[in-house]
Chains A and B, each alone.
Chain A
Amino acid sequence: MLVEAVYWQRLVERTLCWIAVCIWDLMMIHFHLDHCGALPYMSEMVGYDGPIYMTHPTKAICPILLEDFRKITVDKKGETNFFTSEMIKTCMKKVKAVNLHEVIQVDDELEIKAYYAGHVLGAAMFHVKVGQQSLVYTGDYNMTPDRHLGAAWIDKCRPDLLITESTYATTIRESKRCRERDFLKKVHDCVEKGGKVLIPVFALGRAQELCILLESYWERMNLNIPIYFSLGLTEKANHYYKLFISWTSQKIKNTFVQRNMFEFTHIKPFDRSYIENPGPMVVFATPGMLHAGLSLQVFKKWAPFEQNMVIMPGYCVAGTVGHKILNGAKRLELENKQTLDVRLSVQYMSFSAHADAKGIMQLISWCEPKNVMLVHGEAAKMDFLKNKIQQEFGIDCYKPANGETVTIQTLHNIPIDISLNLLKRAASFAGLKSPDPLKMRVLQGALVMRGNKLQLMDADQALKDVGLKEHNLRFTSTLYVEEDGASEKLAEKIYTLVKDKIKDHPTQYSTDGSISVSDVMITVSGDDEETKSVLVTWSHQDEELGSELMEILKNELPVTME
């Protein structure tokens, strides 16, 4: 049973009661709250007691976010029955950290392996294998690299099932560069004219990307207009970004010896008093949808001036200020019956870190699963992608609704133990001639079932073990050939014929006039000037060779009757 703690607390309360019973293993995909928000609740309050796996960066950043989450819910909203700081701590103690591509044996049968997923720092996809059956759970991932993270990568692990998110099932995006250029140009133009730029962001993830983007642009253009970042959460998180360089993009990895890209030289911490400062500046402020906090405060101050600009780098929920201004509202009503004129320019930029349709398809083509399951996304869009997957790859694709159960049949090879001696003997036979991998080879042995293990062993040995006597089965066939001359002559003829046609078996012509091809014996008898009989005999193990020989003889010799 595999579960991702995707659900928010409320949902979890209802469902977890039974889930907790049957989970024995939990993997955290990444630190976003929609993926790890319910973790302490589950482990501490519901009573989940198995191991929890996380990548190193996730393990580092997760508790900061959980603590923040707890503070807001409990302290600000006054929620009761919530997990405590202590619970977060004990929960994090249960977490085991994993490295990328490290195979972890959870128990005798279950093994997991993490792959890089892009999306946010430390995000991972998990390959889970139980015996012969395996699946890949992607979580959120990103197939296009951005300024601070690389693209998701997986090898050809050929799982039975690939469970992938499909948020952008019907979108193909333009190149990242194009969006970045737009963003930078807008910011640069605005500050050049003396305007102030507000970029509302959430503390982790996109914020770091945009910071790096602006930082390197400032560096490149040698600008000295101040960039500020609101304090708090971000600062702590930035610290971890600095530490986990190996999880970032190619450029950061290559240049961090000279300079760690997360050690910003142009970006300074923000102070509320700076809001009133004259002159151009760029400010990153939380939260991202302008619904509360510092970003809203800054927005109120700057909104009435035309030269200023606000850039919304992501999605805004309906009802927030962000959503309103994106839809072109020119006048906003605030809490205490005040109104606010929005004169500054409002820009929207999508910097989403989810894979688009093309990316999803590429991941599928890389890991070559036998079945695909789509989760997370709108049904209609997923239908499209499902059809496409079935068309392009010819594999089954599922998109179960919530609560729906899907049964997937998988075909598997049955592993059999084989004794080394037997294998070596077969190989040494093959070794005599030049190898031809195209040709199938027959290996003979007895299949023995012991307990629930299958074993292939030498037939003699097997017989001995069971105490049975060996019976031999031989096929005999006689051909009558109309040919003049001595029977030796015919035998000679057959010998050259066989030698010519059958190359990969040793052919011998013995003195008593019989020809042996491996274990097949051919004897020619009969007097001169008469019909001669050709006796062919072979054991049932050589059935293939025997019938082939018969075929040859029948075709090549003037056979009268059998």
Chain B
Amino acid sequence: MAALLKKRALAEFSHVIQEEAPKPVKKLRLIQRVPDPGVQLFLQGLSSQEALQALLKFEANLPVPSGNLGIVIRTLLEHYEKEKEALVRSKIAALLGKLAKIPGINAENMSDEVINLMSKEESQKVKGQLIASLTVIGQSAACQRNLHKQLVSIARQNLTSDYHNVRSNCLRLIGCLESCDQVKSETETNNTQKMLESFFQDQDPRVRSSAFEALLNLHERGVKIDQSSYTSAWEALNDDYEGVRLAAIQIVWVLCHLYPESKVCVPDSDEELRLVDDGFVKICNMINDISVNVRTKAASLLGSLHLVNARFLEQTLDKKLMSNMRRKKTSSERAKDNFSSGVWSTGQKWADDAPKEELDPESINLMNIGACGAFVHGLEDEFAEVRNCTLDSICELASQNAAFAVLCQDSLADMFNDEIESVRLNAINSLKKLSQHLEIREDQLDIMLGVLQDFSYVSRESLRGMLCDMRYATKECLKSCVVALLDNLRRYPEDRVSIWKCMHHLGKNCSSLALPLLPEFLCLHPYFDTPEPEMDDPAYISILVLVFNAASGNRTALPMFQEHTWRHYSYLRDTIPDLVPELQHPDNFNVIETDKTVKKDESDLTSMFIKSTIDKLSDLNTLDTSTAKQLLETSVRDLQRVTELDINTSASAECICLFLQSQLLITQLITQHAYILTGSVTVNNLTVLVDKVLDITNRLQTLFLGLGRQDLSLIKQTELKALTFNFGSVLANSQELVTQMKAQELYTTYLTNLQKFLSTHDTQTDKFTTYLLSEMTVLKNNNQLSMVQNVLHSALKLVAPCTCPLLNKVQKTYAVIHEPAKMSDNPIKFTAGLTAAVTLVADIENISRVENVRVQVKYPDTTTSLIIPQSCDIHKKTALSYRISSHILMSHGHWSESCTVEIVLVLMASSEVKTKFKSKLLCSDDESDVIELCKPIKVLISPKQHKR
């Protein structure tokens, strides 16, 4: 398996051109493949059965390029005329429809042919199929009004057919093609609608559902549908057939949106309801439907009816429990009562929830009639799809209505315990979205905090995200939150950073609740000094993050800090500045005051420093090599430190730092250039340097977003310098003409590309590049390599290090792997030769082309495999950040003991240089054209021998 994986990886990512060495100057010949004769269909002289087989085979190959489809269509039409078997004819009709979708086919001509066939056709089955094909043809000729009109009139004529398929296909065609001009008179659209309505009660369910779907289609295409359909639509909600109900429910929903305020009569009473309310109730009722699809649809449609009256909305959550005819309180109601009365249930009595008051049999509502209990029912549904859609709808409605949000709080909290993870996650996220309306009670928090013990990283992460945004009712809530987070930290130490972030938000949002808890958090005692806690303890850091953030909003907290707290404060302020706000020490107010201005502009300070560093280097090309080298070395060292200091500017600093490193390498090459051309420097030595430069330029071009064209051109020119050195040395050292020629060819192609790049981007070039570009013709000359060598000589003399002004703020692409967590002691066991799946959860930030991301797995025997994550596993978070959650398959032969495998996210290099020059540069392994996005994670695996 591993071998296969590797093979595949090799095949896909490195196009190694292998050529036999001895043959002179053999150019790579690209064979132009004769275009595939492919699209052929012979139906001549076949029996019906054979023809059908041929047609099926042809259909399986669709879609095909439109090249010679004209002949195919003609063959089909000819055969149609001759065919006796209705089944084959209808297959041909279906194929014509499918072919009409292929771009490049003239739909209009085809429609004439098909209409022609229609008029002669006897079989109803074939007729139905022809109409279906006409629908497709009409749709692919989108702007031909006249054709549409003609087709619609044909469909209308065929509506009286007694075969259901013909009728329902006609209706579908009308729905798809009936013109939706605004200018068209009201009456005409009304007529169409009237006509469709007359089919709402057709005897065949398929025709009924087509009629509803056609109306829906008309609406989607911009025709305003009339309110008159409402009655027949809601009557169809009781239809025996699922498809009809499914379409009718959508019509009701559409009408609710179109005419929310108009009144409808309630049957059996004089009352009048707003249409949106009535529709809402009707759709709610469908949550009790037999069919899952209808229930799912109903649940998802409810969410968008924002205009519904609060009275109906509140009913949806109504559920009265009873036991033996006596009223029983739900656990959440009990909890709420306890909360308001201040008495807490011990939870130890088994009759705690014993039913109390007797109920009047008349008052009990057993049926979910109308809106009553609709959402409760949806949340208790058997199928996760329905539950998820109900959650979505509740969330959407609640975000519009604060009172409803408070009501649904308990139901949402209840969903935290669902058996299916996606539903649990949905509940967490829904609650997060409603955070501005809600105040969390202690009992609810108990349920929610359980998720922090969850094994799945994603659940824990989203719960922490939710905790950040929530408002809490009491200080006890905050306390249990903190306790749970610390417990989380103990169980899963890898969540550290995320927990600190959560503490940061908790402190900021609930500073007033945190204040009374401070002494407890900081282990303060009124009389005794408490021991100074360990500074490295992540739990203590979490507490401090919370405390400092709470204190920043509430100055009364500051005097409570002990001396060591202040010490720890200054340490944390340095190490995790973005999580710790600045605080003023009450004693040395003034000192901090002066400090403050400096601190505030920390980001500015670093960026200023970077700027000054670059400025210092501006005259780099004029300096002599050794000074330049010294200067560069110090700058690189400075910038490396800056990278660690400040998050905002670290990417820029790193970018410049890398660039300067490349310049440093160039200076090294310069010092050696005299020897290079005479051929006295060993080739290996040189290639190492060149390789390093190329590596850096490659990283610069791939990892950093937001580089300006000036920056890019500088990077490319650096690349050129390195390549020139390399080329020069090849010419000087290699004795074989073939190698030299090949090197020349590669070099000149690169140069041409660069020239193209420079001219399109209109950027300045340094002397070296200018000179080389002007000598292009000489360089391209195949015959006289000595001339080329001369040019190179003079060019290399012009080489000088330069600096990069870096005007834009750049971003660096990086990844964070959340799962698998760091090295666990339990190896993943699987049978050797088979595969094991490892869950991978990772975030990738600042990435523009996420399709270039690969997962690299390195086995201890140095074999590696690159895995392309499936596109369905990649979820977009924001414009430039993604989350990958997928399974990585790994496999290996039998091992005697468990060993670690490294998993790392890599990015395919965007620069083409590396791959092109690889064969020349002795880079043997395929790792070189990928760039790691994070530190590798080690996973312990142990392939076991197959048990017999």
Q: How far does the alpha carbon of A16 sit from the alpha carbon of B320 in the complex, in Å?
A: 43
A249 to B414, CA, bound (A): 20
Chain A residues with CB under 8 Å of B766's CB are none
Task: Tell me, in angstroms, the Cα distance from A150 to B386 when the chains sit together.
Answer: 14
B323 touches A171 (CB 8 A): yes
**Residues 123-154 of chain A: 1 if any B CB is under 8 Å from the residue's CB, otherwise 0?**
00000000000000000000011010011011
Q: Mark A205-216, 1 if CB is under 8 A from B, else 0.
A: 000000000001
**Residue-wise interface mask of B (192-223) relative to A, using a CB-CB cutoff of 8 A (1 in contact, 0 not):** 00000011011100000000000000000000
Chain A 280-315, CB-CB to B under 8 Å as 1, else 0, gives: 000000000000000000000000000000000000
The answer for the CA separation of A171 and B331 in the assembled complex, in Å, is 15
Does residue B185 face the partner (Cβ distance < 8 Å to A)?
Answer: no
**Complex: A554 Cα to B417 Cα, angstroms:** 76
A156 within 8 A of B: yes
Contact of A171 among B160, B198, B324, B456 (CB under 8 A): B324
A384/B325 contact (C-beta < 8 A), A392-B367, A431-B160 known: yes
A345 touches B (CB below 8 Å) = yes
Pick the contact of A250: B198, B382, B491 (CB < 8 A).
B382
B454 CB-CB contact with A under 8 Å: yes
Q: Cβ of A435 and Cβ of B414 under 8 Å apart?
A: no
* B382 engages A170 (CB within 8 Å): no
Q: Are A156 and B290 in contact (CB under 8 A)?
A: yes
Known contacts A345-B348, A388-B364; is-contact A437 B160 (Cβ 8 Å)? no
B159 within 8 A of A: yes
Contact status of A170 and B323, CB under 8 A, knowing A345-B348, A387-B361: yes
**Alpha-carbon gap, A551 to B367, bound state (A):** 49
B341 to chain A, nearest CB (A): 21
Chain A residues, Cβ within 8 Å of B322:
170-172, 357
Cα–Cα, bound, A438→B368 (Å): 31
B520 on the interface (CB 8 Å rule)?
Answer: no
A220 to B451 Cα, complex, angstroms = 9
Instruction: Point out the residues of chain A lying under 8 angstroms from B383, CB to CB.
Output: 250
Contact call A222/B455, Cβ cutoff below 8 A = yes
Chain-B contact segment, one of A27-35, A66-74, A361-369, A516-524 = A361-369
Q: Does A324 contact B (CB under 8 A)?
A: no
Closest CB in chain B relative to A412 CB, distance in Å: 19
A427 sits at the interface (CB 8 A) = yes
Interface flag for B632 (CB, 8 Å): no
Contact between chains at A357 and B202 (CB < 8 Å): no
| Contact present for B417 and A177 (CB under 8 Å) | yes
Report chain B residues within 8 Å CB of A366: 290
State how many angstroms separate the Cβ of A447 from the closest Cβ of chain B: 23
A444 within 8 A of partner (CB): no
Stretch of A178-186, A228-236, A271-279 at the chain-chain interface: A178-186
In the assembled complex, B415 has its CB within 8 A of some CB on chain A: yes
Q: Specify which chain B residues have a CB less than 8 angstroms from the CB of A171 in the assembled complex.
A: 322-324
In the bound complex, residues from chain A placing their C-beta under 8 Å from that of B418 are 177
Per the bound structure, the CA–CA distance linking A347 and B284 in Å amounts to 37
Within 8 A of A (CB), among B365-390: 366-369, 376, 379-380, 382-384
Cβ of A429 to closest chain B Cβ, rounded Å: 11
> Which residues of B, 20-58, contact A by the 8 Å Cβ criterion?
none
Is the CB–CB distance between A250 and B367 below 8 Å? no
List the B residue with the shortest CB-CB distance to A213: B419
Given contacts A357-B366, A361-B367, A388-B364, contact A438 B382 (CB under 8 A): no
- Tell me, in angstroms, the Cα distance from A385 to B382 when the chains sit together: 24
Distance, CA A150 to CA B376, complexed state (A): 18
- CB contacts under 8 Å to B, within A327-352, are 345-348
Interface size on A, residues (CB 8 A): 58
A326 to B351, CA, bound (A): 9
> A399-435: which residues lie under 8 A (CB-CB) from chain B?
427-428, 431-435
A395 to B199, CA, bound (A): 31
B563 at interface by CB-CB < 8 Å: no
Q: Which residues of A contact B491 (CB under 8 A)?
A: 222
CB neighbours of A428 from chain B (8 A): 162
Is B447 a contact partner of A181 (Cβ separation < 8 A)?
yes
A346 touches B350 (CB 8 A): yes
Residue of B160, B321, B324, B415 touching A434 (CB-CB under 8 A): B160
**Is the Cβ of A381 less than 8 Å from the Cβ of B325?**
yes
Closest A residue to B492 by beta carbon equals A222
Q: Which of B319, B330, B366, B382 contacts A361 (CB 8 A)?
A: B366
**CB <8 Å contact, B366 and A175:** no
A365 touches B453 (CB 8 A): no
Kindly list chain A residues whose C-beta atoms are within 8 Å of the C-beta of B450. 181, 185
Structural contact, B414 and A172, CB atoms closer than 8 A: no
Q: Which B residues are in CB contact (< 8 Å) with A145?
A: 382
Chain B residue at minimum C-beta to C-beta distance from A424: B162
Which residue from chain B places its CB closest to the CB of A219 in the assembled complex? B455
B511 at the interface (CB under 8 A from A): no
Q: Are A216 and B331 in contact (CB under 8 A)?
A: no
**Closest CB in chain B relative to A465 CB, distance in Å:** 28
With A178-B331, A348-B350 already in contact, the answer to whether A433 and B324 are too (CB < 8 A) is no
Please, which residue of chain A has its CB at the minimum distance from the CB of B291?
A: A155
Residue of A nearest to B366 (CB): A361
Which of A437-469 touch B at CB < 8 Å? 437-438
Q: Give chain B residues whose Cβ lies under 8 Å from the Cβ of A172.
A: 319-322, 366
- In B223-241, which residues have CB < 8 Å from any A CB? 240
Measured CA separation A144–B160 after assembly (Å): 46
* Chain B 392-438 residues near chain A, CB threshold 8 A: 414-415, 417-420
Contact of A155 among B202, B290, B361, B364 (CB under 8 A): B290
The answer to whether B687 has its CB under 8 Å from any CB of chain A is no
CB distance from A476 to the nearest CB of B (A): 35
Most chain B C-beta atoms within 10 Å of own C-beta, residue among A249, A381, A434, A436? A434
B384 contacts across to A, CB distance below 8 A = 250-251
B652 within 8 A of A: no
- Which chain B residues in 453-505 approach chain A with CB under 8 Å? 453-456, 491
Say yes or no: B366 contacts A178, CB within 8 Å. Answer: no
Q: Judging by beta carbons under 8 Å apart, are A347 and B320 in contact?
A: no
Chain B min CB distance to A389 (Å): 9
Is B288 in contact with chain A by the CB < 8 A criterion?
yes
Chain A residue contacts of B325, Cβ below 8 A: 170, 381, 384
In the complex with contacts A345-B348, A362-B288, A388-B366, A173-B321 CB distance below 8 A: yes
A358 interface residue (CB < 8 Å to B): yes
B159 to A175, Cβ gap below 8 A?
A: no
A174 within 8 A of partner (CB): yes
Q: Which residue of B lies closest to A385 (CB)?
A: B366
A151 to B162, CA, bound (A): 40
Tell me if A239 counts as interface (CB < 8 A to partner B).
no
- Does A96 make an interface contact (CB < 8 A)? no
In the complex with contacts A175-B414, A178-B414, A392-B350 CB distance below 8 A: no
Interchain nearest-CB distance for B684 vs A (Å): 51
Q: Is A493 an interface residue (CB 8 A)?
A: no
24 pairs, CB–CB < 8 Å, chain A vs chain B: A170-B322, A170-B323, A170-B325, A171-B322, A171-B323, A172-B366, A174-B331, A177-B414, A178-B331, A180-B417, A181-B414, A216-B419, A220-B454, A221-B455, A222-B491, A358-B367, A361-B367, A381-B325, A388-B364, A392-B367, A431-B162, A435-B199, A437-B202, A438-B201
Beyond known contacts A221-B454, A381-B324, A392-B369: 18 more, CB 8 A cutoff? A155-B290, A171-B323, A175-B379, A177-B414, A178-B417, A181-B417, A250-B382, A251-B419, A251-B420, A345-B348, A361-B366, A365-B288, A388-B364, A428-B162, A434-B198, A435-B199, A437-B202, A438-B201
Residues of B whose CB lies within 8 Å of any CB of A are 159-162, 198-199, 201-203, 240, 288, 290, 319-325, 330-332, 348, 350, 361, 364, 366-369, 376, 379-380, 382-384, 414-415, 417-420, 447, 450, 453-456, 491
Residue numbers of A with Cβ under 8 A of B are 144-145, 147, 150-151, 153-156, 170-178, 180-182, 184-185, 216, 219-222, 249-251, 326, 345-348, 357-358, 361-362, 365-366, 381, 384-385, 387-388, 392, 427-428, 431-438
Smallest CB-CB A-B distances: 8 pairs: A145-B382, A222-B455, A348-B350, A181-B417, A151-B382, A170-B325, A177-B417, A437-B201
